[in-house]
């Protein structure tokens, strides 16, 4: 009969190696099930996205004021066929009447108020969230956000 003889220090090293691998696997498994980029509402199936209306302001070299309103974040990514809730907080600008291109969704975001939009996209693509008041550079825009449905 043959015996495998191990030193005590080898046994300790093997034990710690197994322990570190176990902790690593557990950590990898847990992070796989977390959602770091979106907040989830009451229902785990609803993708809740918080947006604000922002503003950039500066002066050109000849002293002219340049101003642009923006949706922030300017680009969001959502899942196809998934219920999405946009919570848009009005910060800069009094009112932003908007629509989402390719859908029947319309609304207005007012300063100090929250506008909630529930939407489910059944087709993949890039949809534009457009403010009707600030559509172009001449009108303190383009206040256009991009919704990527994947
Ligand atoms: Cu606007």
Task: Say if CB 100 and CB 125 are below 8 A apart.
Answer: no
Tell me: the pLDDT tens digits for 28-51? 777 665 544 444 445 678 999 999
C-alpha of residue 60 to centroid of ligand 1, in Å:
22
Element holding 21 (H helix, E strand): helix 8-32
pTM summary value: 0.70
pLDDT tens sequence across 105-138: 999 999 999 999 999 999 999 999 999 999 999 9
- For domain 39-149, the question of CATH label 2.60.40.420 is answered with yes
21 C-alpha to center of ligand 1: Å? 52
Domain-by-domain residue ranges, the chain?
7-36, 39-149
- The candidate with the shortest Cα–Cα distance to 122, out of 146, 102, 99, is 102
Q: Which of 105, 125, 102 is nearest to 115 (CA)?
A: 105
CA of 142 to the centre of ligand 1 (A): 9
110 CA to middle of ligand 1, Å?
10
Tell me how far apart the alpha carbons of residues 128 and 143 are, in angstroms, rounded to a whole number.
10
Place of tokens 């922030």: 72
């Amino acid at each position: 009969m043959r015996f495998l003889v191990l030193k005590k220090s080898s046994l300790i090293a093997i034990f710690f190696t197994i322990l570190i691998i176990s902790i690593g696997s557990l950590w990898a498994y847990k992070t796989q099930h977390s959602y770091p980029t979106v907040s989830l509402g009451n229902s785990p199936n609803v993708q809740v996205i918080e947006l604000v209306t922002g503003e950039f302001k500066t002066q050109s070299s000849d002293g002219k004021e340049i101003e642009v309103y923006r949706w922030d974040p300017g680009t969001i990514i959502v899942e196809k066929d998934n219920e999405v809730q946009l919570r848009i907080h009005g910060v800069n600008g009094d009112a932003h009447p908007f629509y989402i291109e390719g859908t029947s969704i319309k609304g207005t975001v007012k300063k100090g108020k929250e506008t909630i939009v529930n939407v489910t996209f059944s087709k993949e693509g890039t949809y534009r969230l457009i403010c009707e008041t600030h559509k172009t550079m001449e009108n303190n825009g383009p206040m256009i956000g991009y919704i990527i449905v994947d």
